[in-house]
């Protein structure tokens, strides 16, 4: 079963209540390869709320198969903290950096974290997929159009690939399975 390695809020030792940080927001932490769980554990020890969503996958060795929880987003762990007090986060072994925009830590909207948290707590089947937006150039990686590049569009709630001949200003579109494409 998939789920999450949640580092829930840690109660304060004195009152048994959470110590709310007025400016605490969720941030994505870029981790060293295969250090996501180590980072989560260190954050918990420092009483920083952490969230590591996981997905169950079968792993095969020479002598056996076993279902193992793998990070849903390899190389990333999420933490809730005040960005002005980020040194305890950055000093965790395995943290490469806080995902930033223009040099400032970029908060992840709480509703996005809550949506992922709710999904991993269900019994629904889910898999990570490439993040593609309408209008992006994509490559087809499976099926009869494997190796073809085009622009992703939507038509009647279906993914469509537009193949264009720019020189003559003409194009053709074809329905594709979203699982069969990746960003260009």
pLDDT digits (tens, 9 = 90+) for 106-158: 999 999 999 999 999 998 888 776 677 888 999 999 888 999 999 998 766 67
In total, the chain counts a number of residues equal to 184
Structure tokens at 105: 């830590």
Least confident of 12-16, 30-34, 78-82: 12-16
* 76 contacts 54 by C-beta, under 8 angstroms: no
% residues pLDDT > 70 (the chain)? 86
Average pLDDT, the chain: 86
CATH of domain 3-120: 3.30.70.940
Strands 107-108 and 104-105: unpaired
Using the Cα atoms of residue 38, residue 89, residue 8 and residue 125 in order, give the sign of their dihedral.
negative
List the one residue out of 113, 107, 116, 110 whose CA is nearest residue 86.
107
Residue 3, SS3 per DSSP: strand
| Residue 155: predicted pLDDT | 61
% residues pLDDT > 90 (the chain)? 55
User: What residue ranges do the domains of the chain occupy?
Assistant: 3-120, 137-183
Structure tokens at 166: 């720019």
What whole-number distance in Å separates Cα of residue 135 and Cα of residue 132? 9
Give pTM, 2 decimals.
0.70
pLDDT in tens, 82-111: 999 999 999 999 999 999 999 999 999 999
| Residue 125: predicted pLDDT | 80
């Amino acid at each position: 079963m998939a789920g999450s390695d949640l580092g829930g809020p840690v109660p304060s030792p004195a009152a048994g209540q959470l110590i709310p940080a007025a400016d605490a927001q969720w941030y994505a932490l870029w981790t060293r390869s295969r250090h996501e769980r180590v980072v989560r554990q260190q954050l918990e020890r420092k009483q920083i709320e952490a969230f590591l969503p996981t997905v169950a996958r079968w792993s095969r060795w020479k002598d056996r198969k076993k279902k193992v929880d793998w990070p849903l987003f390899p190389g990333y762990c999420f933490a809730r903290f005040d960005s002005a007090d980020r040194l305890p986060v950055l000093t965790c072994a395995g943290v490469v950096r806080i995902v930033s925009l223009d040099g400032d830590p970029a908060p992840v909207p709480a509703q996005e974290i809550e949506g992922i948290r709710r999904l991993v707590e269900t019994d629904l089947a889910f898999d990570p997929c490439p993040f593609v937006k309408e209008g992006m150039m994509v490559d087809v990686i499976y099926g009869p159009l494997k190796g073809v590049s085009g622009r992703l569009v939507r038509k009647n709630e279906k993914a469509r690939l537009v193949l264009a001949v720019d020189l003559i200003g003409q194009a053709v579109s074809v329905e594709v399975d979203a699982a069969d494409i990746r960003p260009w």
